Amino acid sequence: MATTAASVADVCLAAREASRVLVTLDGATRNRALHAMGAALEDRAGEVLEANARDMEAGEAGGLGPALLDRLRLDEHRLQGIATDVRVVAALPDPVGETIEGKRLDNGLDVRRVRVPLGVVAVVYEARPNVTIDCSALCLKAGNAIVLRGSSTAAHSNAVLAQVASAAVATAGVPEAAVSIVSGADRDELRQLATQDGVVDLIIPRGGDGLKMALKEHATVPVMYAAAGNCHVYVDRGADIDDAVAITHNAKVQRPGVCNAAETLLVHSDVAADFLPRALGALRESGVELRADARARAAAGALGGSLGEATAEDWATEYHALILAVKVVDSVQEAIAHVNRYGSGHSEAIVTGSTEAAGAFTEGVDAACVYVNASTRFTDGGVFGMGAEIGNSTQKLHARGPIGVRELTSYKFVIEGSGQIRE
């Protein structure tokens, strides 16, 4: 496995050479490599959990919050889930070599558009060691080499996981340098990685605005941002109140530190008095801090006087915590306008009994994933049947939504003739 014992440039060059071997390997070989990776995670679970315990101890001593500690934590159940996800990725159809479309031109040339690997994908991420394996599995399935750059918070976990992965795939005939890691301890290292023109084909960052800004400042390699999630649930006038309470609670509480958790609740004024006392009471019982506008506080009944006052900053904040902003609106159009102004384009939900309102919301909201009568928490490559994901892209080029195997490929045109020349 390549590490920063070499230089960042050397790691990337080794990955480039590995990618040239990967593109010649068949899908069965890549699948064997993934199964070897899953088995190695189980066989070496003790090493992984010991390394993670060191990261958890350092994180607690360093004052990491509960949400970040939850992202960092591995246990036997989570590790088994990661191994299972690798096998799910292996079972997916092989995207490499797939003919996307084909036709015969009037001049007799046969033109096919064929799916091909990107080459070398670098993934930069923060405090989530499962990403080390998820991303490695997805990249290898799509025929790509991967260069990983995790955060110092998860340094011990990531180093062991990357070593487990690279050693395992080598037993199946995949180059060890197909899975490489750089330490993540130095900002200059990020700059070096982001400027590997002609060697790294794509960088995918998973992290906060600081990481984004650092890449925007330096990157000369193409970047596909796995974006943050300032997500909303809008409860419309036609909503089933029981469903709305359950969806709102799940979207905020089920796992508050992830990017598809709801950060703002919007409620139509016609149902606010019926809905808010129930919903906010359930949220308060689960430990959620509530920050509401004046109309929401007035409609919340006995709870209203104890609610915090929402500010413009709250509408724009991804909390990653048990905090929820609450606002009353007068129409679905007002809800759409609020979402499009403050949302990050990740995942948005409407709870409604009106097909007209649902249609207006799904058409009007500019986001990668738009839900009708369901929690935002479902935005996930694994849940969507993609095996796993590298992240969720809110961009419109080259992929949008969960970044899975097919999103890690490009295509080439293959043209076959019988001696044609252009006049």
CATH number, domain of 269, equals 3.40.309.10
Q: Looking at the domain assignment, is residue 1 inside a domain?
A: no
Residues 107 and 179 in one domain: yes
Tell me, yes or no, whether 216 and 262 share the same domain: no
pLDDT-derived band at 303, boundaries 50, 70, 90: very high
pTM of the model: 0.87
Per-residue model confidence as pLDDT tens digits over 179-225: 999 975 667 889 999 999 999 999 999 877 788 888 888 999 999 98
Instruction: Give the pLDDT of residue 184.
Output: 57
> Same domain, yes or no, for 22 and 161?
yes
DSSP string, 60-117: HHTT--HHHHHHH---HHHHHHHHHHHHHHHHSPP-TT-EEEEEE-TTS-EEEEEEEE
Question: Is 161 a residue whose pLDDT tops 90?
Answer: yes
The helix/strand count (H/E) of the chain reads as 15, 16
Examine the domain organization and report whether 352 and 404 are in the same domain.
Answer: no
Q: What is the pLDDT of residue 109?
A: 98
Residue 205 maps to which CATH number? 3.40.605.10
Does 114 or 257 have the greater pLDDT score? 114
- Mark whether 41 and 190 lie in a shared domain: yes
The answer as to whether 383 is a domain residue is: no
In contact, 336 and 249? CB cutoff 8 Å: no
The pLDDT of residue 212 is: 82
Residue 422, in any domain of the structure = no
> Does the pLDDT value for residue 4 go beyond 60?
no
Alpha carbon distance 404, 355 (integer Å): 31
Q: Determine, yes or no, domain membership for 385.
A: no
210 and 263 fall within a common domain: no
Q: Are residues 216 and 80 in the same domain?
A: yes
Nearest to 252 by CA among 80, 379, 113, 377: 377
133 lies in some domain: yes
Are residues 163 and 62 part of one domain? yes
- Residues 304 and 403 placed together within one structural domain of the fold: no
Q: Which structural domain, as residue segments, surrounds residue 265?
A: 231-378
Q: Beta-carbon neighbour count of residue 217 at 10 Å?
A: 10
> Do 91 and 140 sit in the same domain of this protein?
yes
Q: How many domains does the chain have?
A: 2
* 370 pLDDT more than 50: yes
220 and 125 both lie in a single domain: yes
Quick one: 171 and 297 in the same domain? no
**423 within domain boundaries:** no
In a domain, 41, yes or no: yes
Q: Kindly state whether residue 155 falls inside one of the protein's structural domains.
A: yes
b/e code 343-358 from CB counts within 10 Å (16+ = b): bbbbbbbbbbeeeebb
